[in-house]
Structure 1
Amino acid sequence: MSTPMGRNVIALEWLQFGLGRLVAAAAEEGLTIHLLTGERSEYAHELAELDSPHLVVHDVNTHDVAKVITTIRAIGDVAGLLNTTDTWSLVSLEVRAQLGLAGPDPACIRLVRNKALLRRRLYEHGLSRADGSPLADTDDAADVAARVGLPLIVKDSAGTGSEHVWLARTPDELTAALDEARRVALRGHLIAEPYFLGPLYSVETLTWEGRTRVLGVSSRILSAPPVFREEALAFPVALPPAVAADAEQWIEQVLKCVEYTEGFAHTEFILTDDGFEVVEINPRLGGGLVGEEISQTLDINLYATFLDLVLRRRPALMDAPLTPSRGAAHARLYAPRTGIFVGCQGQELLSGHPGGPVLRPALPAGTAVRTIAHQDGCVAVLFATGATSELALQNVLSAAGEIHVRMEGDDRG
């Protein structure tokens, strides 16, 4: 396959972290990253540390396909477009189509971004023991419970970041969940699916020309139901050899079932007594500091793989050794309540703490925090390492206890 000749790479928004590693990889290739963003402050923490001719930031409404295309055409000499977010995955498909840029299979991306269609596909291929159900405006709790069974989850078919997810164990809880769900603005439409009991993990994979390589499995700590807020994550989980082999075979079947042909995938799953159950397939690298965790544990710059993908060459990571030298973990720090975020105290206490914890801001001081029910309420992310992922997780949770999130009004009597 020939390599594109353009020296400019478009990043249509980005994950909250990892931009610095991407720019470092681009500098080695003689490429320039052009970050198109509608909210520059999302990257303030990384942009403050980046001073490179290999990064240009363009302020543009990234939800407006026409404006994105106009911006890209003005840049010119483009090798391709990268997208690492759920929110802009469908926008990126339209932009690539209009500009004739290569990328993942559009049909696959649309399938995995529609949780109702995904659940149906997995069920039909024997990869889930239960189907889901789209919800009509006329459906009441009795209708939904009869189709899906209790307990169940009501959620946005195109949701992301644990937003708009409701657990219902009883008919009354289901009635309340439906009432609340129908009052919020959704990215997609409402669906209901079974509530699978068990711990949540995610398998991080890279696929090229239909061949998938498992990079490792991440553990997950969530807040207590009914709120599914991500609290912490560690990589790589040391699964028993037989379970690890089963997981690798299973994820290959899952990704083939949805005709996943290229790119990173972050597949969340429940490890139940009856086997693996997909929660969702995200056609991207995992969020938070997953990319940093993989980079540090495998002693690589994972973000160089994005350039292999955009330049249409076999990623080096498909053949590189995958022997972890350590474990890594991150913990999300949330505002204790809604209001104006002032800052974090206690960073001086991290010096000398096991695991070398590092605090990374997620929101600039002065930001109004409007929810603490999901990841939008995260104000900072704490990263730490350890000899194993379990030790890394203990290190980061211990260090998180030293940090105090301050809100406007905290000093008032």
Structure 2
Amino acid sequence: MDHRPLVLVLRTGTQDAREYLLRSMSTRYRLHLVSSLDPSWEREYLDGWTIHDSRDPAQALAVAAGIEGVSGVLTWDEARVTQVAHIADGLRLPGAGQQAAQWCREKNLTRRALDAAGVPQPRSVSVSGADQAVAAAATIGYPVVIKPNDLLASMGVIRAADEEELRAAYTQLTGYKVGGLPDYVFRPLVEECVTGEEISVDSVLFEGELTVLCVARKTTGYPPYFAEVQHMVDSRDPLLADAELHAFLQAAHQAVGYSSGVTHTEIMLTAEGPKIIEINGRLGSGLIPYLALEAIGVDIGLAACDTACGVRPVLGGGLGRVAGIRFLHPEQPGTVVESIRFDEAALDPAVVSTFLYARPGSVVSPPDGSGHGRIGYAVAVAGSAEECQAALDSAEAALLINK
């Protein structure tokens, strides 16, 4: 018999972005996928699967209860974080708890909890109309950022320098269509625009004790939007062992009641000190866990399985490398893709993988806050940040569109 614990996984994602997680997780755990789509590439890593949307928490719990021998449940899909907490509580499995999951899922609730605990963060006001947004900005002071309460991947996050830009941004934000959610209602926040260096930290919490797994240095672009352009993970980053950052993260997670599981926290390192941008009750996206695996040797997917099953995480490390990802975008709006490829001969040897989203016939544009705009990416692994940066630069230069 296979005595590996059985972990329920709600949804997966695309093969390029998530296969590495299932591959490593399946070495120590049996995996049962719950998804609205029939699995394809996932099958070789699965013990079984159930076709179910899992959007409704009560229905998702009923499905999970019918699967024998579940030891843990997890997701890396932002739209299923609260459902996972509902299932874990219903089956009396380890987890963050429904309140902590909801407080991380909704940014306005995060703000309230952090404010009550005195954890530094941008000033923030929840609004329900353009006039309220303008009034909030008058209190906060321009420039401000307007953002949705519960989306991800920087979708709908827009900087506004004055009232005119804010009104235009509000109209643009609330006019977006959210895929798979035709009845989605935007509940925007207007926030102080804090500046500095932005990082993300993937952490694991076990019995309330927080361990930093990975620090990613983030580059954004395409103002007034905040499109993620690059992530860099350095195994020698001093922030990995920074006591003040660790205490700051511990306080933030205590404020939202999060004591078990893997989280992805976005932080702005300002001149006044670190400020929480958001806490996500899941591991990072944008292949950040893959960068951590390649640079540090830490397997965040396995850490998520461990805590989901109530097991103290077994952490790797010691690779001593730097890994980065560069997201690639078109230069001009409305670019018709006749051909697209990487010039393999021009790629630095440190580039370990490339991927193209765009296909011939696609019409592509730079990021506009809608969550679209990426046409591909490249991943590099090197011995230093400078070497990794140079490799990613080579990949961007080697991307050929209609050439």
Residues 310 and 350 from structure 1, CA distance in 2 versus in 1: closer, same or farther, beyond 3 angstroms? farther
| SS of structure 1 residue aligned to 2:290 | helix
**1:373 alignment counterpart:** 368
* Mapped partners of 2:240, 2:27: distance in 1: 40
User: Any residues of structure 2 matched to 1:346-357 within 5 Å, and which?
Assistant: 346=342, 348-349=344-345, 353-357=348-352
1:403 to 394, 399, 402: 399
Structure 2 match to 1:389: 385
**Structural RMSD (CA):** 3.3
Pair 1:33 & 2:22 matched: no
Counterpart among 65, 79, 84 of residue 87 in structure 1: 79
Matches within 5 A, 1:235-254: 235-236=233-234, 244-254=242-252
Aligned with residue 320 of structure 2, among 322, 325, 334: 325
Task: Give secondary structure in 2 for the equivalent of 1:147.
Answer: helix
Distance apart, 1:230 and its partner CA? 0.6
Instruction: Describe the SS at the equivalent of 1:88.
Output: helix
SS at match of 2:27: helix
CA distance in 1 between partners of 2:117 and 2:94 (Å): 29
Deviations 1:257-276 (A, max 9, x none): 22220222211111111111
Q: Give the drift of 1:97.
A: 4.0
Query: 2:149 maps to what in 1?
Result: 157
1:21 aligns with 2:16: no
Q: What are the residue-to-residue correspondences of 1:51-130 with 2, within 5 Å?
A: 52=44, 54=46, 56-65=48-57, 68-69=60-61, 71-73=63-65, 75-128=67-120, 130=122
TM (norm. structure 1) is 0.82
Partner of 2:181: none
CA-CA distance at 1:376 after TM superposition: 3.5
Instruction: Mark the CA change 1:398 to 1:171 in structure 2 (over 3 Å): closer, same or farther.
Output: same
C-alpha contact 1:346 1:403 (8 A) present in aligned 2 = yes
Letter matched to residue 384 of structure 1: A
How high is the sequence identity, in percent, across the aligned residues?
A: 21
**Stretch deviating more after TM superposition (197-206 or 342-351):** 342-351
Aligned position for 2:204: 206
Q: Indicate if the aligned counterparts of 2:31 and 2:45 stay in contact, CA closer than 8 A.
A: no
CA separation of 1:343 and 1:99: change in aligned 2, threshold 3 A: farther
**Distance 1:111-1:241 versus aligned 2 partners, 3 A rule:** closer
User: Contact between 2:7 and 2:72, CA under 8 Å: does it hold in 1?
Assistant: yes
Q: 1:68-99 CA distances to partner (integer Å, 9 max, x unpaired)? A: 45554554332221111212112323333444
Which structure 2 segments of 5+ residues have no match? 178-183
Q: Deviations over 1:364-401 (max 9, x none)?
A: 77778698435443343311111123432331232122
Q: CA deviation at 1:122?
A: 2.2
Structure-2 change in CA distance of 1:210 and 1:367 (3 Å): farther
Which residue of the partner structure matches residue 307 of structure 2?
309
- Asked if the contact 1:141/1:171 (under 8 Å) is kept, the reply is no
Q: How far apart, in 2, do the equivalents of 1:39 and 1:364 lie? A: 23
Structure 1 pair 106–72 and aligned structure 2 pair: CA distance change class (3 A)? closer
In structure 2, do the counterparts of structure 1 residues 222 and 187 end up closer, same or farther at CA, with 3 Å as the change threshold?
Answer: farther
2: CA distance between counterparts of 1:106 and 1:12? 16
Query: Partners in 2 of 1:128 and 1:58 — Cα distance?
Result: 42
Q: Secondary structure at the match of 1:303?
A: helix
CA contact (8 A) 2:366 2:374 kept: no
Evaluate the alpha carbon distance shift between residue 342 and residue 22 of structure 1 in structure 2; reply closer, same or farther with a 3 A threshold. farther
Determine if the alignment matches structure 1 residue 167 to structure 2 residue 167: no
Spell out the pairing of 1:120-199 with structure 2 (5 A cutoff): 120-128=112-120, 130-137=122-129, 139-140=131-132, 142-184=134-176, 186=184, 189-199=187-197
SS at match of 2:155: coil
Contact 1:382 1:396 in 2 (8 A): yes
Change beyond 3 A, Cα 1:78–1:135:
same
Give 1:105's aligned amino acid.
G
CA distance in 1 between partners of 2:186 and 2:171 (Å)? 17
Whether the aligned pair in 2 keeps the contact of 1:207 and 1:264 (CA below 8 Å) is yes
CA contact (8 A) 2:324 2:380 kept: yes
Q: Which AA in structure 2 matches 1:218? A: A
- Secondary structure of 2:265's aligned partner: strand
Q: What SS is found at the alignment partner of 1:264?
A: strand
Give the Cα separation in 2 of the matches to 1:181 and 1:299.
39
Q: CA deviation at 1:192?
A: 0.9
On the 8 A contact 1:153/1:168 being kept in 2, the answer is yes
Contact 1:335 1:369 in 2 (8 A): yes
Task: Say whether the 8 Å CA contact 1:222–1:232 is kept in structure 2.
Answer: yes
Unaligned stretches of 5+ residues in structure 1: none
Contact 1:123 1:131 in 2 (8 A): no
